[in-house]
């Protein structure tokens, strides 16, 4: 998501670190297979991102098969960094991909740790001379916007079944923002809609994305 654009991508704004007193505690996320993981994320995109209209740009790219879903088995931050580097390189070499969802279910379960990792991820863009070429957007099962409480329904705008780093082409983001009449209205609409939907309904929608008999995560 573009930092500062106000556009909800798959597709959302950069995570805001919650105040220290409202940070969520770490919770274990069971190791899952690649197919289970990707199925859950695809369901989330279909039912919440597209189904609730959280990102007006998502459906076109999904239907055009320009979204890459990639799960990494990384269990440590160093391994996740290596996977992130590989996926950025893949995007450089494959112009047919509009955006990549790098899903990492086995590392950075805690939102605060995840949020801190985003700074390291941005540093990698600088190291690879890709700042201004790609952006990294953030989604997490414990996502919490600044100024909200953990159980505020609007946090489900950016809550996903598993932690995700979304890699976006900055030029495409800028073009989408330029051609949209009011990007701030997207954010305001999403907040209003999620709050109207309510915590229980939002939680149920997210939990329904998990496949088979996986336990509730939120």
For the chain, the structural domain boundaries read 25-207
Tokens (6 digits) for 114? 């995840």
- Is pLDDT above 80 for 21? no
For residue 129, CA distances in Å to 88, 93, 99, 124, 134 come to 11, 15, 18, 8, 10
Buried/exposed code over 54-83 (b: 16+ C-beta within 10 A; e: otherwise): bbbbbbebbeeeebbbbbbebeebeebbeb
**Is the CB of residue 20 less than 8 Å from the CB of residue 184?**
no
Angle, vertex CA 145, rays to CA 138 and CA 60, nearest 5: 45
The sheet carrying 164-169 orders its strands as 67-71, 99-103, 164-169, 134-139
% of the chain surpassing 70 pLDDT: 82
Using CA atoms of 117, 119, 174, 9 in order, give the dihedral in degrees to the nearest 10. 20
Q: Which of 26-40, 114-128, 154-168, 191-205 bottoms out in mean pLDDT, i.e. has the lowest?
A: 26-40
Per-residue pLDDT at 182: 77
Per-residue pLDDT at 168: 95
């Amino acid at each position: 998501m573009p930092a500062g654009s106000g556009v909800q991508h798959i597709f959302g704004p950069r995570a805001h670190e919650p105040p220290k007193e409202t940070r969520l505690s770490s919770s274990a996320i069971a190791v899952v297979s690649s197919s289970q993981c990707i199925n859950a994320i695809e369901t989330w995109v279909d039912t919440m991102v597209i189904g609730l209209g959280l990102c007006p740009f998502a459906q076109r790219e999904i239907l055009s098969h320009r979204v890459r879903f990639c799960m990494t088995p990384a269990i440590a931050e160093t391994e996740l960094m290596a996977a992130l580097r590989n996926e950025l390189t893949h995007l450089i070499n494959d112009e047919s991909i509009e955006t990549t969802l790098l899903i990492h279910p086995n590392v950075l379960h805690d939102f605060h740790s995840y949020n801190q990792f985003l700074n390291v991820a941005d540093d990698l863009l600088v190291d690879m001379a890709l700042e201004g070429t790609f952006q990294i957007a953030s989604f997490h099962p414990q996502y919490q916007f600044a100024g909200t409480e953990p159980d505020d329904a609007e946090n489900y705008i950016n809550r996903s079944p598993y932690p995700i780093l979304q890699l976006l082409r900055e030029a495409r983001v800028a073009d989408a923002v330029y051609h949209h009449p009011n990007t701030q209205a997207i954010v305001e609409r999403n907040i209003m809609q999620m709050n109207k939907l309510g915590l229980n309904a939002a939680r149920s929608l997210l939990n329904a994305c998990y496949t088979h008999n996986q336990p509730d995560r939120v």
